[in-house]
């Protein structure tokens, strides 16, 4: 896998810690970041909450939960249960997590899972990891994230919560498909709001700029990022002292105003040039914010 490509985030559910560590080392050499859990219940919770995970490797026989870990008992139908739960996550969260079975009981389990899973023997890490790379690389989501890798740093670094990543994916997908309908302006406004959420979480923007519903006041946040003195609801005044380039101040203002300007249009109306202008300003912002963060808030 080329060093220029975006790393793949994989997850393994397996109770053998020594094996996990050896696989993690092999994965790292192929630019695969491997996280793990020793039981299905904990693993599914991690997969639900970590939107970065691209692929899941399932042990052929693993523990359902921590109670089973204590007793040492395993059951062999766990991959089927895991598949159902991962499919639910994919459907509910609009994700495309791939999966396979990796087992030390290949001969015993192959017949059980034939036609349901791709199955690997635990002594063939090279083949397993190459399969992970091939499967993830073919997904449309990974292709988008790989092409615009720098734009996703804002999520990779935790500046903006990964639960908002789908908004950037929506914007980039619309760019790729040249889909300039008014309905595709909505994710831009929501992503601007998510950026303000992130800047509040890193203590750049005052938390008092959140309204009663926990959402950023877009006008106050925009004024603040323009380095203009801004009052919150209680009359306290705040001014950003860290320098913001004029073009970024203008980008915040343009996005705030322009993404609100088309409410009177139908969702299907074409607004090609405002869409192109706003989308590229938004990409400039998501690339600039991590730089700004590293200079002032690390």
pLDDT truncated to tens, each residue of the chain (298 aa)?
666 789 999 999 998 999 999 999 999 999 999 999 999 999 999 999 999 999 999 988 778 877 776 776 766 678 889 999 999 999 999 899 999 999 866 555 565 666 778 989 888 899 999 999 999 999 999 999 999 999 999 999 999 999 999 999 999 999 999 999 999 999 999 999 999 999 999 999 999 999 999 999 999 999 999 999 999 999 999 999 999 999 999 999 999 999 989 878 899 999 999 999 999 999 999 999 999 999 999 7
CA atoms within 13 A on the CB side of 218: 16
Which residues are within 8 A (CB) of 238 and not within 5 positions of it... i.e. 6 or more apart?
Answer: 206, 224, 229, 230, 231, 232
- H-helix or E-strand spanning residue 68: helix 66-71
Q: Where are the alpha helices (DSSP H) in 114-211?
A: 125-137, 140-147, 153-156, 165-176, 186-201
3-state per-residue secondary structure call for 199-257: HHHCCCCCHHHECCCCCECHHHHHHHHCCCCEECCCCCEECCCCCCCHHHHHHHHHHHH
- H-helix or E-strand spanning residue 8: strand 8-13
Domain segments of the chain as ranges: 8-143, 148-296
Burial 27-44 (b: 16+ CB within 10 A, else e): beebebebbbbbbbebbb
pLDDT at res. 111: 57
Predicted structure pTM score: 0.87
- Identify the bridge partners of residue 33 per DSSP, sorted by sequence position: 9
Of 102, 97, 73, nearest to 85 by C-alpha is: 97
Candidates 3.40.50.2300, 3.40.50.300, 3.40.50.1110, 3.20.20.80; CATH matching 8-143: 3.40.50.2300
């Amino acid at each position: 896998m080329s060093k220029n490509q975006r790393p793949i985030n994989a997850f393994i559910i397996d109770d053998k810690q020594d094996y996990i560590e050896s696989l993690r080392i092999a994965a790292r050499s192929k630019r695969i970041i491997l996280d793990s859990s020793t039981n299905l219940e904990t693993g599914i919770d991690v997969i639900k909450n970590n939107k970065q995970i691209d692929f899941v490797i399932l042990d052929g026989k693993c523990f359902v939960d921590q109670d089973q870990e204590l007793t040492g008992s395993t059951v062999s139908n766990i991959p089927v249960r895991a598949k159902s739960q991962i499919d639910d996550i994919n459907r509910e969260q609009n994700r495309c997590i791939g999966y396979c079975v990796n087992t030390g009981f290949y001969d015993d389990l192959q017949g059980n899972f034939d036609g349901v899973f791709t199955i690997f023997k635990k002594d063939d890490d090279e083949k397993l990891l190459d399969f992970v790379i091939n499967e993830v690389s073919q997904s449309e989501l990974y292709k988008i994230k790989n092409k615009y890798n720098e734009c996703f740093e804002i999520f990779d670094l935790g500046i903006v919560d990964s639960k908002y990543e789908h908004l950037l994916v929506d914007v980039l997908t619309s760019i790729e498909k040249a889909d300039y309908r008014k309905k595709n302006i909505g994710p831009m406004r929501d992503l601007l709001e998510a950026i303000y959420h992130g800047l509040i979480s890193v203590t750049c923007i005052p938390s008092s700029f959140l309204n009663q519903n926990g959402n950023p006041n877009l006008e106050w946040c925009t004024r603040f990022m323009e380095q203009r003195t801004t009052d919150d609801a209680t009359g306290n005044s705040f001014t950003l002292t860290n320098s913001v380039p004029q073009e970024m101040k203008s980008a915040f203002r343009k996005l705030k105003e322009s993404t609100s300007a088309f409410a009177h249009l139908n969702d299907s109306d074409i607004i090609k040039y405002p869409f192109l202008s706003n989308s590229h300003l938004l990409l400039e912002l998501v690339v600039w914010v991590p730089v700004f963060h590293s200079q002032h808030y690390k």
